[in-house]
Structure 1
Amino acid sequence: MDYAKLPLSFKGELHIEPDEFTLEATRLIVHADKVSFEFVGADGNGGAFTVSGVAQRTGNGTFLMQGVKPEYKTTVACPVGDFEFLVVEIKSNGTGDATQDSCYLEGVWREKNPPAEWAFSGTLVPFKST
């Protein structure tokens, strides 16, 4: 990773496994020591939700945020869990223009009660403000 280019901001759809809900990165900001994120999604239980936070780099090279609480739009569901970003890889387009780079992302969302786990992954494109 070229740390001279950081922080970089990305967005895009994420694939969920098992495929039980939708999840989109509306903003993912990659720093050398942390990953800031804002995701939106929808599930069959609580409906539309947002989840955001800052995952700190761990000793094994992943980024972890504990105590994540999604905010649901229409219900009072309050699951609490962890987000762990296992792979955060900036892919250069080869031109030296960081605004054209992409970010490959793999991670796991773990909820505690009841216990559940979903893998997420995707290739995100640069975030451009309008």
Structure 2
Amino acid sequence: MRVGVAEFVRRVTVRNRLPLDYSVASLRVVDRITDGLRGAGPEQGSVAPELFWLGAYAGEVFVRRAGAEWVDFDRAQRELFGQPVGVRMPDGRVWNPIGKVAKRFAVGPEESVRQMYFLLHGRVPLKGAR
């Protein structure tokens, strides 16, 4: 996932001056980009790749800033979350940031990857976390 996320960040920041710097603060940017896509009125299917990579970016922030690790979901988790991958926190709980971005697109601002970060149980404070 790391390589894919890095390529996504490179691609979207080449055209725009988006502060996607893997900081916790940048999760607000993910929420705002998702809102912009939602406000443009496209069907979710037409922006599904962007939503996936925005969620993967959020997951990478969880990895870098909260001590999470990427995991492939098992069959039951894939059915539950509707995604192939997620993150596992040091306490063993799994989270679905990709699905959270898709949910924000579908539902609106009451869903937030930034808020999700602050709800993560078992966050490990890492040096340099912003």
Question: What is the TM-score normalised by the length of structure 2?
Answer: 0.28
- Bigger proportion of residues as helix: 2
Question: What is the TM-score normalised by the length of structure 1?
Answer: 0.28
- Bigger proportion of residues as strand: 1
Larger Rg: 1
Greater relative contact order (CA < 8 Å, ≥ 6 in sequence)? 2
